[in-house]
Amino acid sequence: MTILDGKKVSNDIKDEITEQVKKMKAKGEKVPHLAAIIVGNDGASLTYVGSKVRACERVGFESTLVKMSSTTSEVELLDKIHELNENPEIDGYIVQLPLPDQIDTQKVLLAVNPDKDVDGFHPANFGKMALDMTTFIPATPFGILELLERYGVETSGKHTVVIGRSHIVGRPMSILMGRKGFPGNSTVTLTHSHTKNITQITSQADIIISALGVPNFLKAEMVKDDVVIIDVGITRVADDSTEKGYRITGDVDFVNVSKKASFITPVPGGVGPMTIAMLLKNTLLACERHRKRA
């Protein structure tokens, strides 16, 4: 059994990006600039955005953090997005979700310039991804592809089962794993809350990508020997024996499933660190595209 070490791979990617940025600076080129908008004071969102800012510092990117109050109106947020769309210094930006109830998330995501949509959530980018065109792939699915590629996990002709159909992970993964090329060329089954006999489906899978958000959902009896497990789930579970009073748990019963798996991602330290690394990679790609156009 091989651990798919997202922490190590993400550090490798950051080192590679750092080298590219040094070369850009040496040539006198503009370095990539990533911005993030956060509305409100959600603790998890603040932590996540803070780690993105630190990651930018590490690789030599410029970064801008736009903090807006929880009472921000939809119009005010759309004005700020328009400002970032028009700012030539900003190569890419993200709007941290979730947004407060008074703001229509769909309207906000549609307002983002697809050329700066490094989260890959805009319908224009999602559509291009579905059509195998060059575009920004959402950061978490992009990270999963990178892990599979760097560890040489065979995907061609394999049966991939995706658990969960969110627009952020499940649905894009189902498209990407079925595309031509590597990683891809697998036969994909997309399962969700209305799927019947899910154990029957998962027990036939060569690769399982679980993005359900239900702690320890996937048990050892639900998988076959030598299965490849990608656990995207990340849930805080109360645990008084720890200093923080909780532990981070994935969708997979790691202790028991890992005994049957050929490859498996840990939680934490698997898919999570890859997400930020690939957001940086998308920002680098955006900067290079903008430079070529200019």
- Delimit the domains of the chain by residue range: 28-114, 139-271
Q: What is the pLDDT of residue 71?
A: 96
Q: What is the pLDDT of residue 44?
A: 81
Q: Which residues are catalytic?
A: 52, 96, 119
Is 164 annotated to bind a ligand? Reply is: yes
Residue type, 82: H
Question: First-to-last CA distance in the chain?
Answer: 48
Is 234 annotated to bind a ligand? Reply is: yes
Question: 28-114 and 139-271 share one CATH topology?
Answer: yes
Is 166 annotated to bind a ligand? Reply is: yes
The architecture in CATH of the region 139-271 reads: 3-Layer(aba) Sandwich (3.40)
Nearest C-alpha neighbor of 283 from the set 104, 24, 9: 24
Residue whose structure tokens are 């699915």: 141
Q: What is the pLDDT of residue 45?
A: 86
Tell me the average confidence (pLDDT) per consecutive run of 10 residues in the chain, 294 residues long.
98 98 97 97 87 96 96 97 97 95 96 97 96 96 98 98 96 97 97 96 98 96 98 92 91 98 97 96 97 90
Distances (CA, A) of 202 to 31, 131, 164, 214: 45, 27, 13, 16
Distances (CA, A) of 103 to 25, 70, 75, 88, 108: 39, 10, 9, 26, 8
* Helix or strand holding residue 147 (H, E): helix 139-150
CATH topology of domain 28-114: Rossmann fold (3.40.50)
pTM, whole model, 2 decimals?
0.95
